[in-house]
Amino acid sequence: MSEMANMDSEGIDAVRMTWNVWPRTKVEASKCVIPLAASIAPIRPHTDIPMLPYAPLRCKTCSAVLNAFARVDFMAKIWICPFCYQRNHFPPHYAMISETNLPGELYPQYTTVQYALQSFPDPNNSNATQLPPVFVFVLDTCMIEEELEFVKSALKQAIGLLPEHALVGFVSFGTQVQVHELGFSDMSKVYVFRGSKEISREQVLEQLGLGSAGRRPTVGYPKVLQNGYANTGVNRFLLPASDCEYTLDTLLDELQTDQWPVQAGHRASRCTGVAFSVSAGLLAACLPGTGARIIALVGGPCTEGPGTIVSKDLSEPVRSHKDLDKDAAPYFKKAVKFYDSIAKQLVSQGHVLDLFASALDQVGVAEMKVAVERTGGLVVLAESFGHSVFKDSFKRVFEDGEHSLGLCFNGMLEINCSKDIKIQGVIGPCTSLEKKGPNVADTVIGEGNTTAWKMCGLNKSTSLTVLFDLSSTERSNVPGAANSQFYLQFLTSYQDPEGKTMLRVTTVTRQWVDSTVSSEELLRGFDQETAAVVMARVTSLKMETEEGFDATRWLDRNLIRLCSKFGDYRKDDPSSFTLNPCFSLFPQFMFNLRRSQFVQVFNNSPDETAYFRMLLNRENITNAAVMIQPSLISYSFNSLPQPALLDVASISADRILLLDSYFSIVVFHGMTIAQWRNMGYQNQPEHQAFAELLQAPQADAQMIIQERFPVPRLVVCDQHGSQARFLLAKLNPSATYNNSSDIAAGSDIIFTDDVSLQVFFEHLQRLAVQS
Amino acid sequence: MAAPVPPGAPRPGANARQQSPHPNFNPNFQTNPNSLADNMQNMNLNRPHSMPNSGPRPSPFGQPPPFPQSSVTAGFPVASPPMSRPGPPPGMVGRPAVIPAGPPQTTLPANVPPGRPVGLPVSHPPPFGSRPPPASLSSSTGGAVLPSSAFPSSGVSSASAAPPPSGARPSSFVSSSPLTGGPAGPMSRAPAGPSSNGPPAVGAGALPGAPRFPPAAIVSQPPVGPPPSMMSARAPAQAPTMRSVLGSSAVSSPQTPPLPSASSPFPAMTQARPPPLGSPYGPQTWSMQPQQGTQPPHIPGSTHAQPPRMFGMPQQALPNQAMTNIPPAMGQPGAPMSGSSKIDPNQIPRPIPNATPIVYETRHGNSANPPPPATSDYIVRDTGNCSPRYMRCTINQIPCTADLLTTSAMQLALLVQPMALPHPSEDPIQVVDFGESGPVRCSRCKGYINPFMKFIDQGRKFICNLCGFTDDTPRDYHCNLGPDGRRRDADERPELCRGTVEFVASKEYMVRDPMPAVYFFLIDVSMNAVQTGATAAACSAINQVISDLPEGTRTLVGIATFDSTIHFYNLKRALQQPLMLIVPDIQDVYTPLETDVIVQLSECRQHLELLLENIPTMFQTSTTAESCFGAAIKAAFLAMKSTGGKLLVFQSVLPSVGIGALSSREAEGRTNISASEKEAHKLLQPADKILKTMAIEFAEYQVCVDVFVTTQTYVDIASISVIPRTTGGQVYYYYPFSAVSDPAKLYNDLRWNITRPQGFEAVMRVRCSQGIQVQDYSGNFCKRIPTDVDLAGIDCDKCILVTLKHDDKLQDGSECGFQCALLYTTVYGQRRIRVTNLSLPCTNMLSNLFRSADLDTQFTCFLKQAAIEIPTCPLLQVRDHVTNLCINILLSYRKFCATVSSTGQLILPEALKLLPLYTLALIKSRGLRNDGRIDDRSFWFNYVSSLSTPLAIPLVYPRMFAIHNVDSKDGDESVLPPTIPLSSEHVCDDGIYLLENGEDALIYFGSSVDSSILQQLFGFTSVDEVPTQFVMQQFSNPLSKNFNDVVNVIRQQRCSYLRFTLCKKGDPSGMLFVSCMVEDKNANGPSYVEFLVHIHRQIQMKMS
């Protein structure tokens, strides 16, 4: 269902903006409270997007790409760039152009087009230069036998699913890092790196015999020209999946848990950091431009060498949010700095780090977040490699077909925008390329200081949030017809899963409005859902980057300001307060955001928080909105499945509730339903309807699970069961033990002192109307 | 195994030698895995010889000795039960003992006479038993494994050949034996006495008998007189030999032969007198010589200068003497000598081997018995003092004062070889278990209980012989004293009646549980190593040697290879195939696995064998030229750190990368000649401290490193050798490595390395009686505190020089005790303390010192000290120093002891009469020449550092045999042909000669050798066809068989396979041979005669 929603709300462009009309001045914009921002899904597929098999035309001054908004003089064979108004001549091969013979990019409905580029134009052999994708699996071996078996079988399955030509490498680690030379035929051969020592990329190359200077042909391995890597020697380590599947299977069969002894009362010695360094170093030997990903399967915290997040002594717990706040996490900053350097290296190489972490305790996602997010890697956090959250997600990564993630490599996003629009930065899985330009804002939010970003890895659901600002200088030119519109152009080049280079160009236009004259127009251009998500992302970012940032207060203040500005009320009369329908849902979003895991981090570990935030940042608006404010559907005999209020009052003994909070999906059986089910009525033919009722939420849950990555955790529970907490935690506590006397039978109460939505509203109204 | 006395652990399949388990075994051995050694002994055991005790003894090894090669064993049994040895009854051939058995020495000390056990021994089997059976050594690698059949092909025919000879031997022995022991001693003395100065040099002496008698006669020594007849027989031949028996001999009185008077001066003389006693034996003595005599007619010419004259011999008696008498004028250098022809080069003192083993009792009549020469063949009866194999002193009487010692110019030092291989006929060392309380020790100096501790007060207290402190006897150790003042149980308790015992160590002596036997093999697989075949040779050797490793769960092995990275192998059984683990960081190494790199042998045998077969091919195409030796050993060390153990490294090229990388200093030195002249010796020092630091760490963790250098280039042994030296290991050097001829030696060296008696994690300390203290230790070990040496590994071949100094006066007539305690772990994991005691009389008489000087020990001491100086001093200085040491001793003797008449005579103390010859040989040895390769010299002085006394002598003064006529001798003689003096005069153009120094062997072809002899011995017909690489082969003809026998006997004696080089005249190889002719004048030094003249002149100068 969310898919459908996406289609509608994002359309062909997959761009959603907090404000669809922009105030003209920076001052006005700041009064709008909610920042000017756009959420884009750069390569979201859409059936209507035309594929153009030629290279785009670029404006010679601003290098924006020719688009449907350009004015074209067919006679003179000239087009005028909507961004800089530069007049450009069409090249000779556009000679045929006319009003009735337009190239795809000029069709007005094709605001988004896709170009298929060829990096090496060779009409005869277009496939020859395509580099196969590279997958380096990095497997933690410090885990119990059982977990290792789970992860091994997942790995084997994954390797079987890889395209035959994809190159595969394998690295295992524990106390030390072992790089397996899959191309060595005489026996199993591994290069062992010490886990306690930081190692530079040059050292890795040198020590693996891949150094540029002393490239040592290694023993026993015939030099084979293969995939164009022959001269680097890296093909000793990276073999086509079809060639090494057997080797890898055997290797995995023999692979044991880490042999180094673990002292009693200590954590296993695990050098995740060095493993990443080494893997990244190995990939450095690949030709530039190769799409490669490091797929890390981690079963615990890094305790050895660089990137350590906690000491080996079990008496010292892994840092909590409280420790981070109090600066009592001695390893944290150092580790983050280390992973940041890994990120830089990977980005420079254009390679991706995917993190699959499965452990009951934290593994250091909070520290590694930077490396994963900057490279556009995938991240999945589960509590066991045997859990479906991991198993199914992992499988999904490699699966082809309808639910394929569409993993692409080497993405680069460029943004062109009309004069006076400044880009503050991007929140999401990308890295700034530090490409300066006139459209770069002075203030930076997220990855800024640039008009181009690298996305080493991206997939069809990857989303980014671009934050804009307006030029602070008063506009010199009088608002006129010509520039009542402004334009934004998003250029995304990338390698698709087949290795082909594509360029997607999305050009959107929106209107300027003079908000001093009329806020009516502004109001209508407000996208509450997007605004809520952007606020959530900005809040998360601030919480991570600003010391002592009080998120709740900040959100409250902004909400009050917003309501003050856009609400209808009489001063100091709370009861007179009303909100325009365009804003009506926003306060509730904020209420839920305040209570969400993004703001109330203390219920979670830093790892979980990091994980949630990474997904918040990379998902589309609809999904992100669900993370903030879960959807609740109620199933009962009396009616069709229908959305229910996210309120404890929705609980009823004869209902089944389906809660989708994105990370988990809860099927909650009311007390009566649970009793019936326990008595087995659903198995009796006369209670077919009951069986169907039981089945319906399950089926819906499965539908959601299938389209989602990572696979959410499915919780099936009964009222008053222990697992019911997964539902109760998300509900508005309209009924608590404080007012339990007046609740309906069969309903429930929540044991909390949290304020309910109603109370929140009351306060909001009161504060908003204050003069 | 726990039981102290236990029989040897049964070796695996070893050949079960049903034969007798011999009584002799050392206890250690029994327990010990020292298979080889044992085996060897066992073999001997077979000999008929039965020790009285034998029966009772626990036969340590019940089992047959595990010979390396099964084949061998097979051979033996057949051979002759009597002589177990393969052909050559090793025993037969005497080492080139310098002096015939005891005589010389004994002589002097008149006292001695009684001491020697004379006659009895006869029955004994030849001593050599101890040496490894040739067979084992013999076959080429491949062959080794195979049964006997293999042998023939391999060239070494040891096995087959052996048997027959053995038969022969026996007889010989017998005959000889009777004569032997006894007589010799006495005889010599007698003569000595008379001649007082025994100019040993004199050829006359050679015939011990002869010379002596004469003197005797003159002197009036009756005793000797005896068997003139005998003499005559022998005489001819022997006469020349130097033995000049005179014990004292030292100086020959000048012409005046009749120095009867002279004699008087010598204390010895007087003593000698007792001769009468001796006389009885006398006759026999001679007999011994016969054998020798036959060949070695060297006549000791006393050369030039008035040289040495035979003592005993009155000039008259022998013609030689006459000559001697006429000493050319000293002043005139060589010329006179030769010119005058007065000096007969044949009369100069030269070593004469003795043929049959003598039986030597360490103490007799409550006083120490001076030991026979280290290079001779003897069987020890431990009667209170330790066997001289374990510990011997440079002087067998201890000077009471430091001044006296200084005056003598001699060194006071002990050579300690605590695990020395005993003669197979000797009793095993007894193991004493004091239970949890551990051995009884002096509470002050911590000296261990020993036969010289005196019990008093009804046995309630005892006085420590080392520090003089009076201790209370532990209650449960109390025993009453007998009428003789000894404890009544003294004879039942080995620690109270034996010089050497082993105590079972209690918990107190263990910092941790005894370590397992860990063997880690590290193989160079860089391009050069693979291409020269060194890698394959190493793998093959290891593969064959696996079966020789101790059985059981305590034996752990690991293996790694290295080029520019280090490759470990996970041999864990669960794996389907070994897993190669590469450690690429060679600047900062680590071990790639905690546990599975070193695995129980029983668990990984198949993997290991498979791997060893694969390694050479696996790296066949490698083009990695670099080698990270330093990093590799460091990594291997890290893998072994938790246990310690033996690290066996096979290295083929200069370590060029990683930690401790070395540069080609030699080449740099060459290009900068002017600088290098002065600084030449710097190239013999380690390049830097990195390896030394590593080595100390290794030693600390009980890792003992042996390095097998199989190379064709410079590898900087000076630097590399620091590691084995510090950790109690050694360097083996195969240069230039040949894939054809060296693998067999490599295998045999490795096998001996692993199977010889040895111990791990050892600590050694020598304690001395008050008045004397240890000054320094030198050898292959690590010393962290001044009093102890730490030996990560100690084996039967390692010898440690312990220099001593006075810190007080000793009392004349008292005894000075020395106790060496070695705490170690056997290969079977038992912690033991081997305590070796020596108690020597103290004297105030300078002449006693000279009379009791031990030539072999003194010279070995010289040699080691010179070796220590080589890397730190300019060569000239070292040579001068050595020469001066020699001169000063002789000067002292001349000045204070000799009864001089004419200054024109060079007078040598009898006991040290060969000192000039050895000194000359030392000056011309590889280590002290500057024309050699740096690596050769480095190897030389490193080799010397741990060298035992019996091997030190041949290293500088090799033995040479003629082999073109090895078939010509009688069947019942020793297998070894007579030795030939190292002088080109004795090398004929139509002869083929074998020259061996215990490590290398040269075969020299004269230019006109009979082609049929060539054909018979080597399979080619012309000298022109002499190949550069040589593999011993046995052809089916007696000549070839005898030749092989000879070689095998030598191998046995030396415990070394020998590395053969074929030399022919006119080649560089020929030059090599010529350079070994130490008596010749050449670029490196004067001729023997000239040298004697030089010495004489120096002495004269100093006298005046």
Distance between A257 CA and the closest CA of chain B, angstroms: 12
Distance between B620 CA and the closest CA of chain A, angstroms: 7
Share of chain A above pLDDT 70, in %: 91
Interchain pair A254, B579: CB under 8 A = yes
**Which single residue is written with the structure tokens 């064998």?**
B609
**Stretch A102-120: mean pLDDT:** 85
pLDDT tens for B69-84 read 433 333 333 333 333 3
pLDDT tens for A5-61 read 444 567 888 899 999 999 888 888 888 899 999 999 999 888 889 999 988 999 998
Distance between A258 CA and the closest CA of chain B, angstroms: 9
Interchain pair A259, B623: CB under 8 A = no
Q: Provide the ipTM.
A: 0.84
Nearest to B581 among A192, A207, A256 (CB): A192
Closest chain A residue to B525, measured at CA = A219
Tell me how far apart the alpha carbons of residues B264 and B288 are, in angstroms, rounded to a whole number: 28
Question: Using 50, 70 and 90 to split pLDDT, how confident is the model at B973?
Answer: low
Interchain pair A217, B623: CB under 8 A = yes
Query: With contact defined as beta carbons under 8 Å apart, do B107 and B189 qualify?
Result: yes
Residue A414 pLDDT: 94
Question: Using 50, 70 and 90 to split pLDDT, how confident is the model at A287?
Answer: confident
Residue A707 pLDDT: 87
Closest CA to B410 of B1018, B855, B742: B855
A495 SS3 class: strand
- In the DSSP assignment, the letter for residue B339 is I
Number of continuous H segments (helices) and E segments (strands) in chain B: 40, 30
Whether the per-residue pLDDT at B11 is higher than 70: the answer is: no
Query: With contact defined as beta carbons under 8 Å apart, do B568 and B639 qualify?
Result: yes
Least confident of A110-124, B648-662, B699-713: A110-124
Interchain pair B588, A184: CB under 8 A = no
How much is the mean pLDDT over chain B? Answer: 73
Tell me if chain B has a CB within 8 Å of the CB of A205.
no
Query: Does a structural domain hold residue A658?
Result: yes
Whether the per-residue pLDDT at A155 is higher than 90: the answer is: yes
pLDDT tens for A494-541 read 988 888 889 999 999 998 888 676 678 888 889 999 999 999 999 999
Closest chain A residue to B565, measured at CA = A207
For A227, what's the count of Cα atoms within 13 Å in the CB-facing half-sphere?
Answer: 26
For every residue of B546-598, DSSP letters joined together read GGGSPPSTTEEEEEEEESSSEEEEE--TTSSS-EEEEE---SS---S-SSTTE
Query: Does a structural domain hold residue A508?
Result: yes
Tell me if chain B has a CB within 8 Å of the CB of A185.
no
Tell me which chain A residues have a C-beta less than 8 angstroms from the C-beta of B623.
Answer: 216-217
* Of A525, A558, A590, the domain-final residue: A525
Interchain pair B584, A209: CB under 8 A = yes
Query: Does a structural domain hold residue A585?
Result: no
Tell me how far apart the alpha carbons of residues B413 and B416 are, in angstroms, rounded to a whole number: 9
Closest CA to B98 of B1073, B913, B651: B913
Dihedral sign computed on CA atoms, order B526, B531, B537, B543: positive
Element (H, E) at A78: strand A78-80
**Stretch A612-629: mean pLDDT:** 93
Q: Residues A304, A362: one domain?
A: yes
Whether the per-residue pLDDT at B730 is higher than 90: the answer is: yes
A150 SS3 class: helix
Distance between A141 CA and the closest CA of chain B, angstroms: 13
Residue A188 pLDDT: 85
Distance between B712 CA and the closest CA of chain A, angstroms: 22
Task: Indicate which CATH number applies to the domain containing A425.
Answer: 2.60.40.1670
Tell me if chain B has a CB within 8 Å of the CB of A207.
yes
* Of A343, A367, A397, the domain-final residue: A397
Interchain pair B585, A186: CB under 8 A = no
Q: Residues A32, A148: one domain?
A: no
**Stretch A288-294: mean pLDDT:** 85
Task: State the angle between helix axes of B275-294 and B228-238 in degrees (0 to 180), rounded to the nearest 10.
Answer: 40
Query: Does a structural domain hold residue A545?
Result: no
Residue B204 pLDDT: 34
**Stretch A612-618: mean pLDDT:** 94
Amino acid at position A738, single letter: N
Q: Residues A145, A285: one domain?
A: yes
Query: Does a structural domain hold residue A256?
Result: yes
Least confident of A489-498, A743-752, B1041-1050: A743-752
Least confident of A233-237, A305-309, B947-951: A233-237
Tell me which chain A residues have a C-beta less than 8 angstroms from the C-beta of B624.
Answer: 216, 218-219
Query: Does a structural domain hold residue A566?
Result: no
A506 SS3 class: strand
Query: With contact defined as beta carbons under 8 Å apart, do B255 and B907 qualify?
Result: no
**Stretch B1022-1036: mean pLDDT:** 86
Chain centroid to CA B32:
21
Tell me if chain B has a CB within 8 Å of the CB of A642.
no
Distance between A281 CA and the closest CA of chain B, angstroms: 14
Residue A139 pLDDT: 95
Please give the residue range of the domain that contains residue A664.
604-770
Nearest to A194 among B525, B568, B585 (CB): B585
Q: Residues A414, A433: one domain?
A: yes
Residue B117 pLDDT: 37
Distance between A266 CA and the closest CA of chain B, angstroms: 17
Least confident of A179-183, A348-352, B106-110: B106-110
Tell me if chain B has a CB within 8 Å of the CB of A506.
no
**Stretch A170-182: mean pLDDT:** 93
Query: With contact defined as beta carbons under 8 Å apart, do B1010 and B391 qualify?
Result: no
Residue B489 pLDDT: 92
Residue A670 pLDDT: 92
Tell me if chain B has a CB within 8 Å of the CB of A462.
no
Distance between B665 CA and the closest CA of chain A, angstroms: 24
Q: Residues A733, A653: one domain?
A: yes
At residue B148's C-alpha, the angle toward residues B1030 and B50, to 5°, is 110
Tell me if chain B has a CB within 8 Å of the CB of A223.
no
Nearest to B618 among A186, A208, A216 (CB): A186
Tell me if chain B has a CB within 8 Å of the CB of A681.
no
**Stretch B153-179: mean pLDDT:** 36
Share of chain B above pLDDT 90, in %: 43
pLDDT tens for B794-803 read 999 999 999 9
Query: With contact defined as beta carbons under 8 Å apart, do A576 and A771 qualify?
Result: no
Which has the higher per-residue pLDDT, A561 or B154?
A561
Distance between A301 CA and the closest CA of chain B, angstroms: 21
Residue A649 pLDDT: 87
Tell me how far apart the alpha carbons of residues B814 and B841 are, in angstroms, rounded to a whole number: 6
Least confident of A725-739, B103-117, B877-891: B103-117
Q: Residues A469, A512: one domain?
A: yes
Query: Does a structural domain hold residue A3?
Result: no
Tell me which chain B residues have a C-beta less than 8 angstroms from the C-beta of A261.
Answer: 594-595
Q: Domain tally for chain A?
A: 3
Interchain pair A254, B575: CB under 8 A = yes
Q: Residues A380, A420: one domain?
A: no
Show which of residues 258-297 on chain A sit within 8 Å of chain B, judged by CB atoms.
Answer: 259-261
**Stretch A414-424: mean pLDDT:** 91
Residue A336 pLDDT: 94
**CB atoms closer than 10 angstroms to residue A231:** 12
Whether the per-residue pLDDT at B961 is higher than 80: the answer is: yes
Task: Indicate which CATH number applies to the domain containing A710.
Answer: 3.40.20.10
Amino acid at position A52, single letter: L
Question: Using 50, 70 and 90 to split pLDDT, how confident is the model at B1031?
Answer: confident
Q: Residues A99, A142: one domain?
A: no
Tell me which chain A residues have a C-beta less than 8 angstroms from the C-beta of B619.
Answer: 219-220
Residue A169 pLDDT: 94
Residue B111 pLDDT: 38
Tell me which chain B residues have a C-beta less than 8 angstroms from the C-beta of A206.
Answer: 584
Closest chain B residue to A176, measured at CA = B592
Question: Using 50, 70 and 90 to split pLDDT, how confident is the model at B38?
Answer: very low
Question: Using 50, 70 and 90 to split pLDDT, how confident is the model at A401?
Answer: confident
pLDDT tens for A365-374 read 999 999 999 9
Q: Residues A413, A390: one domain?
A: no
Which has the higher per-residue pLDDT, A476 or B551?
B551
Query: Does a structural domain hold residue A552?
Result: no
Task: Indicate which CATH number applies to the domain containing A289.
Answer: 3.40.50.410
Closest chain B residue to A203, measured at CA = B585
Least confident of A667-681, B205-219, B730-744: B205-219
Amino acid at position B340, single letter: S
pLDDT tens for A554-592 read 999 999 999 998 888 998 888 899 888 888 899 999 999
Interchain pair A219, B614: CB under 8 A = no
Q: Residues A243, A269: one domain?
A: yes
Q: Give all domains of chain B, ordered by start, each with its CATH number.
A: 350-438+463-469+493-513+758-845 (2.60.40.1670), 518-755 (3.40.50.410), 854-942+1088-1103 (1.20.120.730), 958-1077 (3.40.20.10)
Residue B859 pLDDT: 94
Tell me which chain B residues have a C-beta less than 8 angstroms from the C-beta of A257.
Answer: none
Q: Residues A176, A62: one domain?
A: no
Tell me how far apart the alpha carbons of residues A516 and B608 are, in angstroms, rounded to a whole number: 87
Pairs of residues, one from chain A and one from chain B, whose beta carbons lie less than 8 Å apart? 92
Q: Residues A272, A346: one domain?
A: yes
Show which of residues 139-178 on chain A sit within 8 Å of chain B, judged by CB atoms.
Answer: 175-176, 178
pLDDT tens for B557-605 read 999 999 999 999 988 867 677 889 999 989 989 888 877 889 999 888 8
Nearest to B593 among A216, A217, A259 (CB): A259
